[in-house]
Every structure is written in structure tokens, then in C-alpha cells.
């Protein structure tokens, strides 16, 4: 009997353990009074169902967050199906933490909306030891930033803020920019994949003419075009703090890169710059090459997956020949082939600073590999790592690379990014 009652009870619950919505027979009423009575009964059942559902949700929420009731230095709940209500509940727990308890919170890939976000940052503002907040890939939008911007304006000692993929748009960016004008602690800001556009860039660039604390800024995939870069151009000529800037996956064609190249000739702080996937053509590549001749701070540059042709390649590599500070260069899918290799090998002969070179996804065959190997054996001992993945390298090229690794034991060569027949990556040296 007890077993049958248990089975009946479980039958009334769904797969998630919550109560099922009550079902009613769909028999036509025989009178008006019966219809009214049925409707009142249905309303009563629905109210009772919703009440039970909320109680069950509350029980599950309390059980899930039980371990965070006591003060913890780190909260990591990324990709955990955290709802906006869940976030509000968590904010209430954090609000009761003693000050200087929490140092890191990661809530990436959940369903947090504006109310949960505002409640969360109100609670986080009291945690003065907090240094890292990661809220990428939620549903924040610009309405979520009242408490966040208040926190930044109060000069909270937060150093890292990641808001990637939240559709914050230009309006959310304007709010963050206003807060950055007076903030002196934030070092890293990621607002990539937010479609902030040129107007968003304008407010942010204006703020960074006053803020010299921010060091790392990720603006990738934000629908930025030449008009937006015009504002970055002005900012980079005066900003003294920014070290890393990611502008990949934007639309910097038609003069955007040329403006940026002008700024690089004057900027004295930028160390790392990503420009991949930006429709860079020969004219833009030539301008970047000119800037490399005078820039003395840039150490890391990625211009892969663009539209470089022979003239653009040659112009850019001429600048590399005269550069003595760049240590890492990304030229993946830059349309290099066996016929274009002389300009690359000549640049490698002259350059004495480059340590890492990425040439993946080009059209370099055995002849090109032979020329590169020759340079790296006899004329360039500085390069320590070269990536040649996804190039049409044959057996002769592989043999040449094998011979190179025996002569240059300090050199790391990645030849294939895909799995070979044994399921292992081909990497030299072993």
C-alpha cells in the first residue's frame, strides 16, 4: 500500500521534480451553474498548482545555493542555468557576507537580466576585496547597468570586468564610459560581441582620453567601421594607459586601418593589437608597414584572415624588416603562396626581434617550406616558434622540417592543427 502511494505521488511530479499542472476532464457542462462551478474549481486548482510550483522552486533554489550561504572568496556558477530570480536570491546571500570576503565571481552563460544584475552589483559594491567579475553571455542589456556604473563611479577596487555577448549596445557603452571617466582601478574590460557600433566607440574613446588606468580593452565583433576608428585614433594619440586592444572581427575597411596606423606612429604604450578579420587590403597593409618602422612599443600584432595580396604583403613586410620590437606576428590566412615567399624570407633575414610567427591557413607548399627552412638554419636564429598548420605541405616539406628541428632544437614547429591518422597532433619537436 505504501509503495502504491509513493508511485502515485511520483506520478504527480514532472521529470524535474516539480508538480505537474492539474488536468481536467473536458466534458461539456450540463447547466450554467455547473459551468460556473467548473470554472471556479479550475481557477482554484491553478492557483494551488502555481503556489506549489513556487514552493518547489524555492526549495530547489535554497538547496542549490546552500553552499554559498556562508561567506566564500570565490563563486563560480558559469553555465549553470541561473535565472534572473536566482541571481536576485544569490545577491541577497552576498549582501549578508562580511565585507572583504568575496574576491571573484563568475556567472558566464546564464539567464541573468536587468533586475538580477542590478541587485547583484548593489551587493558586490560592499565587497571591497572583489577584483574579478565575469558576466559574459547573459541578458543584461543597457538597463542592467545602474548599480554597476554606480559601483565604478564609487571607484570600487574592481580590476577585471567581462561583459562579452550581452547586447549592451551604444546606450550601455555610454553608461560605462561615463563611469570610466572617474574610475582609477579597472584594468581589464571586455565588451566584445555587443554591437556597440560607432556611437558607442565615440563615448568610450572620449572617456579614455581622461582615463589612463585601463590597460586591456576587448572591442572585437562590435560593428565598428572607419567612423568609430576616427575616435580611437584621437584617443590612442593621447592615452597613456592602454596596453592591449582587440579590434578583430569588425569592419575597418575604407580607411579605418589607415587611421589606426597613423595613431600607432605616435602611441607609446600599446603593446598588443589584434586586427584579424577586418577586410584589410593592400593599402591598409602598406600603412601598417610604415607604422612598424617608427613604432617602438608594439610587441604583438595579428593581421590574419584579411585580404592581403602580393603588393600589400610586400609593403607590410618591408616595415617588418626595419622593426626591432615586434616579437609575435599573426599572418594566418594572409594569402601567402610559394610565389610570394621571397618577400617573407627576406623580412626574416633582416628582422632580429620576432620570436613567434603564425602562418597557418596559407598556401605554402614544399618550395616555400624549403626557403623558410633555409633562412631559419643559416640567417635567423631569433625565431623560436612557427605555426604552419593547414598549409599544403607534402612529404618533401615535412622532411625539410624534420631536418630543421634536428639543427634547431630550440625551435617549435606546429605543422598540423587537425588530427592525424593516429589521433595525435603533429608537432615538432616532440
Confidence of residue 14 (pLDDT cuts 50, 70, 90): low
**Is residue 32's pLDDT more than 70?**
yes
State the cell numbers at 366: 614544399
User: What is this structure's pTM?
Assistant: 0.85
Residue 285: per-residue pLDDT: 94
> Burial level of 235, CB count in 10 A (0-12/13-18/19+)?
buried
Residue in 203, 205, 189 with CA at minimum distance from that of residue 132 = 189
Residue 381: per-residue pLDDT: 95
Query: Using alpha carbons only, how large is the chain's radius of gyration in Å?
Result: 29
More confident site: 269 or 144: 269
pLDDT per position as a tens digit, 86-100: 999 999 999 999 999
Residue 143: per-residue pLDDT: 83
Residue in 85, 69, 68 with CA at minimum distance from that of residue 77 = 68
Average pLDDT score over the chain? 89
Residue with C-alpha cell 621571397?
Answer: 342
Residue 44: per-residue pLDDT: 72
CB atoms within 10 A of CB 26: 5
What number of CA atoms fall less than 13 Å from residue 209's CA on the CB side? Answer: 12
**Is residue 23's pLDDT more than 60?**
no
Percent of the chain with pLDDT over 70: 88
Confidence of residue 56 (pLDDT cuts 50, 70, 90): confident
Angle CA 112–114–245, to nearest 5:
80
**Is residue 420's pLDDT more than 80?**
no
Residue 42: per-residue pLDDT: 76
Contact 258, 285 (CB under 8 A): no
Average of per-residue pLDDT across 161-184:
96
**Distance of alpha carbon 274 from its chain centroid, rounded?**
12
CB atoms within 10 A of CB 388: 24
Confidence of residue 47 (pLDDT cuts 50, 70, 90): confident
Average of per-residue pLDDT across 268-293:
95
Contacts for 154 with CB less than 8 Å, ≥ 6 apart? 125
DSSP states of 306-345 as a string?
S---HHHHHHHHHHHHH-SS--EEE-TTS--BGGGHHHHH
* Calpha distance 198→249 (Å, rounded): 14
Residue in 12, 84, 82 with CA at minimum distance from that of residue 52 = 12
Q: Which residues pair with 132 in a beta bridge?
A: 104, 160
* E-state strands within 26-138: 74-76, 104-106, 132-134
* Calpha distance 262→96 (Å, rounded): 51
The pairing of strands 272-274 and 244-246 is parallel
Q: Which residues pair with 19 in a beta bridge?
A: 13
Q: In this structure, is the dihedral angle defined by the CA atoms of residues 209, 214, 216 and 220, taken in order, positive or negative?
A: negative
Residue 153: per-residue pLDDT: 95
Confidence of residue 43 (pLDDT cuts 50, 70, 90): confident
Average of per-residue pLDDT across 192-197:
95
**Is residue 27's pLDDT more than 70?**
no
The SS3 of residue 248 is coil
CB atoms within 10 A of CB 139: 16
Average of per-residue pLDDT across 361-381:
96
Average of per-residue pLDDT across 331-359:
95
Residue 409 parent element (H or E): none
Contact 336, 313 (CB under 8 A): yes
Residue 4: per-residue pLDDT: 52
Average of per-residue pLDDT across 141-147:
88
* Calpha distance 120→168 (Å, rounded): 17
**Distance of alpha carbon 217 from its chain centroid, rounded?**
10
Residue 31: per-residue pLDDT: 73
Running DSSP on this structure, what letter comes out for residue 414? E
Q: Cis link prior to 429 (omega < 30° from 0)? A: yes
* Calpha distance 47→413 (Å, rounded): 67
State the cell numbers at 381: 636564429
Residue 13: per-residue pLDDT: 56
Confidence of residue 58 (pLDDT cuts 50, 70, 90): confident
**Is residue 430's pLDDT more than 70?**
no
Residue in 390, 385, 376, 387 with CA at minimum distance from that of residue 412 = 385
Average of per-residue pLDDT across 371-392:
96
Residue 422: per-residue pLDDT: 37
Q: Which of 14-18, 54-58, 89-93 has the lowest mean pLDDT?
A: 14-18
pLDDT per position as a tens digit, 97-124: 999 999 999 999 999 999 999 999 999 9
Angle between helices 146-153 and 114-124 (to 10 degrees): 20
Q: Which residues pair with 352 in a beta bridge?
A: none
Amino acid at each position: 500500500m505504501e509503495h502504491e502511494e509513493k508511485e502515485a505521488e511520483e506520478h504527480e511530479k514532472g521529470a524535474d521534480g516539480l508538480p505537474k499542472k492539474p488536468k481536467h476532464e473536458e466534458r461539456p457542462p450540463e447547466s450554467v451553474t455547473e459551468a460556473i462551478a467548473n470554472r471556479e474549481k479550475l481557477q482554484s486548482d491553478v492557483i494551488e498548482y502555481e503556489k506549489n510550483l513556487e514552493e518547489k522552486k524555492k526549495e530547489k533554489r535554497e538547496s542549490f545555493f546552500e553552499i554559498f550561504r556562508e561567506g566564500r572568496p570565490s563563486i563560480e556558477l558559469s553555465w549553470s542555468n541561473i535565472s534572473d530570480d536566482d541571481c536576485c536570491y544569490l545577491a541577497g546571500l552576498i549582501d549578508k557576507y562580511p565585507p572583504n570576503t568575496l574576491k571573484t565571481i563568475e556567472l558566464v552563460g546564464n539567464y541573468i537580466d536587468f533586475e538580477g544584475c542590478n541587485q547583484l552589483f548593489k551587493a558586490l559594491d560592499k565587497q571591497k576585496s572583489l577584483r574579478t567579475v565575469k558576466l559574459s553571455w547573459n541578458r543584461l542589456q543597457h538597463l542592467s547597468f545602474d548599480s554597476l556604473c554606480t559601483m565604478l563611479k564609487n571607484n570600487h577596487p574592481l580590476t577585471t570586468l567581462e561583459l562579452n555577448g550581452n547586447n549592451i549596445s551604444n546606450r550601455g557603452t555610454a553608461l560605462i564610459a561615463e563611469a570610466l571617466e572617474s574610475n582609477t582601478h579597472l584594468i581589464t574590460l571586455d565588451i566584445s560581441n555587443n554591437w556597440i557600433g560607432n556611437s558607442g566607440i565615440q563615448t568610450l574613446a572620449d572617456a579614455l582620453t581622461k582615463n589612463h588606468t585601463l590597460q586591456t580593452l576587448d572591442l572585437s565583433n562590435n560593428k565598428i567601421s572607419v567612423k568609430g576608428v576616427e575616435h580611437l585614433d584621437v584617443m590612442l594619440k593621447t592615452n597613456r594607459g592602454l596596453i592591449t586592444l582587440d579590434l578583430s572581427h569588425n569592419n575597418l575597411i575604407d580607411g579605418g586601418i589607415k587611421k589606426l596606423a597613423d595613431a600607432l606612429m605616435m602611441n607609446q604604450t600599446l603593446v598588443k593589437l589584434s586586427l584579424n578579420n577586418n577586410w584589410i587590403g593592400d593599402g591598409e597593409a602598406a600603412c601598417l608597414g610604415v607604422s612598424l618602422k617608427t613604432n617602438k612599443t608594439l610587441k604583438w600584432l595579428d593581421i590574419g584572415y584579411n585580404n592581403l595580396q602580393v603588393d600589400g604583403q610586400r609593403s607590410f613586410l618591408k616595415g617588418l624588416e626595419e622593426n626591432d620590437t615586434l616579437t609575435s606576428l599573426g599572418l594566418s590566412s594572409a594569402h601567402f603562396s610559394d610565389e610570394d615567399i621571397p618577400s617573407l624570407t627576406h623580412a626574416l633575414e633582416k628582422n632580429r626581434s620576432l620570436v613567434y610567427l603564425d602562418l597557418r591557413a596559407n598556401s605554402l607548399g614544399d618550395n616555400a617550406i624549403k626557403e623558410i627552412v633555409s633562412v631559419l638554419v643559416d640567417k635567423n636564429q631569433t625565431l623560436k616558434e612557427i605555426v604552419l598548420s593547414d598549409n599544403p605541405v607534402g612529404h618533401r616539406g615535412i622532411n625539410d622540417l624534420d631536418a630543421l628541428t634536428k639543427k634547431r632544437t630550440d625551435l617549435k614547429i606546429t605543422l598540423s592543427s587537425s588530427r592525424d591518422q593516429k589521433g595525435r597532433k603533429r608537432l615538432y619537436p616532440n
